[in-house]
């Protein structure tokens, strides 16, 4: 197991993805995010099956940043209950994992 985590998030459109991710990258809460448009989601909401076209965002971050990243993403997200899921990274290219660890940190409050 590594200290790297993948955080999955869906958003309604590309504009929202870029706005939310831009904020999270600038805040150094994620080292990198891949934005994947063209996702179709089916889910139960408000008493029935819903279908939505969405954008999937795959963020790479550190264990240290996960809670702050999720909290900030939820604040910026337009959904009432956004999909924000964390997955552990078992293994990967050591240089990439080290880069993620160097680039992500929670800034001290001023």
For domain 4-103, give the CATH number.
3.30.70.120
pLDDT digits (tens, 9 = 90+) for 65-104: 999 999 999 999 999 999 999 999 999 999 999 999 999 9
Please say whether the beta carbons of 1 and 88 come within 8 A.
yes
Classify residue 16 by its DSSP letter.
H
Mean pLDDT to the nearest integer, 38-58: 97
- Enter the tokens of residue 1: 């197991």
Rounded distance between C-alpha atoms, residue 16 and residue 100, angstroms: 23
Farthest CA pair distance, the chain: 47
Asked if residue 110 has pLDDT above 50, the reply is no
Please give the pLDDT value at position 109: 62
């Amino acid at each position: 197991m590594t200290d790297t985590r993948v955080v999955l998030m869906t958003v309604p459109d590309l504009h929202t993805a870029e706005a939310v991710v831009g904020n999270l990258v600038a805040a150094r809460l994620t080292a990198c995010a891949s934005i994947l448009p063209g996702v179709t989601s089916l889910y139960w909401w408000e008493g029935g099956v819903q279908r939505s076209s969405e954008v999937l965002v795959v963020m790479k971050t550190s264990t240290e940043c996960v809670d702050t990243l999720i909290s900030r993403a939820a604040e910026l997200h337009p959904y009432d209950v956004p999909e924000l899921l964390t997955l552990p990274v078992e293994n990967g290219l050591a240089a990439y994992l080290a880069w993620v660890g160097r680039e992500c940190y929670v800034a001290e409050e001023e």
